[in-house]
Amino acid sequence: MTTPDTTTTTTGAGPEGTGGRSRRAWLREHSELGVGVLLLALGVLVLTDALTMDVEIAQRGPIGPKTVPVAVGVGLLVVAVLLAVDVLRGGRGEAEGGEDIDLSEPADWRTVLLLAGVFLATAVLIEPVGFPIAGALLFWGSAYALGSRHLDRDPLIAAGLSVVTYEVFNNLLGVPLPGGPLMGVL
Amino acid sequence: MWATSHIPRPPGASLPGAPSTYRQVVAHVRLRTPLALLGAALLVLVAPPLLTTGSGADTGTQIPGLRFMVPNTPGGGYDITARTAAKNAEDAGLTHNIEVYNLPGAGGTVGLTRLVGEHGNGKLAMSMGLGVVGAARSNHSPKSLGDTTPIARLTEEQDVVVVAENSPYKTIDQLIGAWRENPGKLPVGGGSSPGGPDHLAPMLMARAAGIAPKKVNYVPFDGGGELLASILGSKVAFGVSGVGEYLDQIKSGELRLLAVTGPKRVKGLDGPTLKESGYDVDFTNWRGIVAPPGISDAERKKLITLVEKLHASPEWKKSLKTNGWDDAFLTGEKFGDFLDAQDKRVVSVLKELGL
Amino acid sequence: MDAFNSLMDGFGTALTPVNLLWAAVGVLLGTAIGVLPGIGPAMAVALLLPVTYGLEPTGAFIMFAGIYYGAMFGGSTTSILLNTPGESAAVVAAMEGHPMAKAGRGAQALAAAAIGHFAGGMIGTLLLVALAPTVADLAVDIGAPDYFAIMVLAFIAVTSVLGSSRIRGLASLLIGLTIGLVGLDQMTGQQRLTFGSLQLADGIDVVIVAVGLFAIGEALWVAAHLRRGDAEAIPVGRPWLGGADVRRTWKSWLRGPFIGFPFGAIPAGGAEIPTFLSYVTEKRLSRHKDEWGKGAIEGVAGPESAASASAAGTLVSMLTLGLPTTAVAAVMLAAFQQYGIQPGPLLFEREPDLVWGLIASLFVGMVLLLALNLPLAPVWAKLLRIPRPYLYAGILFFAAVGAYAVGGEPVDLVILLVIGLIGFGMRRYGLPILPAVIGVILGPNAEQQLRRALQISDGSVGGLVDTPFSLTVYGLIVLIVAWPLVKKALARVRRRGVDVEA
């Protein structure tokens, strides 16, 4: 949903170049049009949801459950078009800078995908293998993806952090977290 | 216990990427890496169960590892019921360490769905009430209370019909007379979303007074507190909510009690029942406990015995008094039949409303 | 001066060694638990409820008040350091506080927050003593049309946080409003954008949205562009607030309570809206506009002060009316009932010792909290010196713990990741994050109040403007919107006047 770099879009004026390479360059240059397309899609989604709602319940007053979604949906469509026009006229959103950020290098998609994958794996694993294991994998996996290669230290830090967190939440505070396969066996 | 204590603080200046440190690490890697991995694996596998020994012999009323789910947020009605019951059961020595936790969502439907999904789990119970019956229906939940194992009904509470002290309506007849004439102009406030107890009560009232429930201008508020401000400020014509929350305001005269919705008058309050005022309404909110489906007979009996012992304990009797709850103890099959009847009633009211 | 004498008696109660001990235990536990991710004051108070069961009522409530305020102090700590707010009142603290922390001014941000909480709590509690009955009456008079007018005012205020590109700011706001639509419609129970999923029926919590957009979004964005090689630790800088900082923030500390306190007393969603309004006010009034978004200290001081004062306002309605305006108040109300005490109109007459002891202990607790948190600020700030991979891995870890601990549903983690990816995309294409968070906060509130107002007036649009309060607010809005135009016109007239004279 957030890889607009690869989104091929047909919004706005057609590509100026004739060759494949210049077309790609044009698309790369105007990749922000992808944001417009996503906003458009979101607007259509919100409007569809609102208009297919069956309001059988006695609705009181002039404003029912549909009104605000319709307004938001229309707003999304309008903003999508305005944004596309702005981009085609040469407007660009400025990527966010920061202390740890080096915008001169191209984006490191591998790290982002790794991190997202590790996070997703945590969501999948947390119930079957329990929080201590899933949490440790999340921390270690993230640190690994971000370039930490202390194979002798990182797993221990991750395991320690995860187990302590588990103890604090589950045992001291009584906020239940799944304990893992050996719960009730040992 | 502080969050800091478990944020790792690697020793010295061994930051990742520092070349000299890295080389040293590589030299030791052959031996230390497998050791570290082994240690980490042992830690995450073995430490949690060892540190969480919720022991206690599996005898008598003891149910080790019993968990009590609350399908709404901390501070809500089911939450207070569950935490009080768990505390009293522990104090009375019936069982150790009942773990109470919240799983809120969609008026209790999320909790209900989870409970039904825990098929055969004899160490889980859920605090619930009429609101969950209504929410499951109005949210078109695929799971209903018929899918659970009924354990017991614990308490009940009447709803009250109240107006602000400066309201023009002095009696229930005046109010309902005006309401009949123009239901739209007399908004009624309640502390629950459509399908909840405070919504059902005025709908039953309207039906008994000959007003089409669809005409009723019901304004939902986020709990009894928000509603109270609107009644006191005469933003709504009248309010319908549980008696417990408004006892003091009624006693101090800030709210005028016009009627109670249940079968008999509330002790200490000067207000007629709807029935004796000529409106055929018998509505009482209640709370109880259910367990997951598919649990064994022994497990079911054990839970019921625990609740029976709890009900008989002086601790629970005291809690009933301090919280102003009416005892409405009913267990097992009988509670199941009651649940069925309540479900049918909710469905009939919601159908009329087209929910 | 009746209130004054009663308060002095209250201090007599609160300053006994035993009660002082409970207050200290309360603030310690509250701070410790408030710091944990995903646990806000409501949860902290609910979790610690059993701890107080063994005490007699006065001691229990003194401890409670300590936990409440302690959790509020602690809540902003994770917000500032890790960008992971634990509850909605601390969301605003992350906006300026976290950039400060990244720039090595974490200690200052934490100190500004701690003093802000102190100032807000002190002034708020003083207002509580002086104004309790009056405020309580006013709170009841304010209804749906008035709330809606305030929401319109808040939406006007959003324009000042849209950022350099209006169109991208609006896109962000609309994304927020869309997220806010998800869930059951509060008035009719209609499902909207839930796609039949019950997990989505209660909507997406603003804390999940904030943690997703702020923490996950940032961690992913940094991962894509991590400055390799020079793994320099974040500088720690001076541990204390400098004179220049104090000169910039003292007005913000004092302004916050007057925004926060009234909002706490009315049932309008707790501290979210006042902290946001305080943020916008401070931004308008700041002389350092270029620093906003990069770590303006006023943006921490004002909102935190407003948050604490709103907690005091909450106590007004709870003690005098028995009216819980926030989740914390609802839990405390339940606690009162455990002791067979019913807060409400009769409480001050029935239990004067308890009430005034509780109020006096608020002052005591505030002093204890400041003494505890101010020296801790530089200690906390040192946390950020850990290497980058661990820092961001830790942020992801705690964001996950927070999201999972609240609901216990793995699907919450997936939602968090999706929102984080949206936050990543927004950073890539320069959509500001803040309007989206504001949209999630304001959208559902505004819609509900609008529809409730129209329902109460039975559909007549006149019902939106039939109170003096709402008319006043709309008048104010007209002034705010028209002021730049008027100023321009005045300037033109004046110039012409000068021309004529010349």
DSSP bridge partners of B70: B102
**Sequence-ordered alpha helix ranges (H) in chain B:** 19-51, 77-91, 109-117, 130-138, 172-181, 197-208, 223-232, 243-251, 297-312, 314-323, 332-353
Q: What is the reported pLDDT for C119? A: 92
Whether B36 and A172 lie within 8 Å, measured CB to CB: no
- Pairing mode of beta strands B67-70, B99-102: parallel
Separation of alpha carbons A7 and B165, rounded Å: 64
A59 and chain B in contact, CB less than 8 A:
no
Same domain, B280 and B307: no
Query: Do both B169 and B280 map to the same domain?
Result: yes
Clarify whether residues B120 and B209 are in a common domain.
Answer: no
For C323, the closest of B4, B9, B229 (CB atoms) is: B229
pTM of the entire structure?
Answer: 0.79
- Pair (B104, B199) in one structural domain: no
Decide if C205 is inside a domain. yes
Residue B124 DSSP SS3: strand
Instruction: Using alpha carbons, select from C372, C371, C339, C331 the residue that is nearest to residue C355.
Output: C339
Same domain, B319 and B271: no
B 259-298 residues inside an 8 A Cβ radius of C: none
Our CA-based measurement puts residue B194 at a distance from the nearest CA of chain C, in whole angstroms, of 6
| Residue A124 three-state SS | helix
Assess contact for A72 and C181: CB atoms under 8 A.
Answer: yes
Nearest alpha carbon to residue C332 among C66, C37, C24, C31: C66
Q: How many CB atoms lie within 10 A of CB B297?
A: 7
For the cut 70, the answer to whether the pLDDT of residue B29 exceeds it is no
Average pLDDT of chain B is: 81
**ipTM (interface pTM):** 0.85
Per residue in C274-329, pLDDT (tens digit) is 888 899 888 888 888 788 888 888 889 999 999 989 888 888 878 887 777 777 77
**Residue C64, domain extent:** 2-226+240-464
Any domain includes B53: no
Q: How do residues B157-201 score in pLDDT, each as one tens digit?
A: 888 999 999 899 999 999 999 999 988 889 999 888 777 888 889
pLDDT at position A1 over 50: no
Half-sphere exposure of B340 (CA within 13 A, CB side): 7
pLDDT > 90 fraction of chain B, expressed in percent and rounded: 16
Residues B97 and B241 in one domain: no
Contact A138 C178 (CB under 8 A): no
Question: Which CATH number characterizes residue B196's domain?
Answer: 3.40.190.10
Cβ contact A182–B45 (<8 Å) = yes
* Inter-chain residue contact A63 with C450, CB threshold 8 Å: yes
In this structure, are B161 and B131 located in the same domain? no
Total domains present in chain B: 2
CA gap A29, A25 in Å, rounded: 6
Q: How far apart are CA B192 and CA A52, in angstroms?
A: 26
Q: Tell me which residue of A68, A118, B149, B57 sits closest to C192, measured CA to CA.
A: A68
Nearest to C154 by CA among C272, C74, C47: C272
Whether C444 contacts chain B with CB within 8 A: no
Take residue A109 and report the two structure tokens written for it. Answer: 């998609």
The reply to whether B73 falls in a domain is: yes
- State the best of B2, B44, B124 to mutate against chain A, taking most chain A CBs within 10 Å: B44
> Tens of pLDDT along A72-95?
999 999 999 999 999 888 877 777
d(CA B37, CA B26): 15
Residue B54 falls inside a structural domain: no
Give a yes or no: residue B56 inside a domain.
no
Name the residue among B4, B87, B355 with its Cβ closest to that of C383. B4
Residues C461-471: pLDDT tens digits? 888 888 888 88
Q: How many CA atoms lie within 13 A of B254 on its CB side?
A: 21
Residue-range domain boundaries for chain A? 4-88, 109-172
**pLDDT confidence of residue B17:** 44
Query: Which residue segment(s) compose the domain that B162 sits in?
Result: 157-284
Which pLDDT band, with edges at 50, 70 and 90, does A14 fall under? very low
Domain final residue pick, B284, B306, B339: B284
Asked if A142 reaches chain B (Cβ–Cβ under 8 Å), the answer is no
Q: Cα(C448)–Cα(C445) distance, rounded to whole angstroms?
A: 5
| Cβ pairs B/C, distance under 8 A | 176
Does residue B275 form part of some domain?
yes
- What per-residue confidence (pLDDT) applies to A116? 93
Q: How far apart are CA B344 and CA C367, in angstroms?
A: 57
Q: Is the pLDDT of residue B102 over 50?
A: yes
Low-confidence ranges of chain C (pLDDT < 70): 1, 37-38, 50-54, 136, 227-239, 267-269, 337-338, 340, 345, 406-407, 497-502
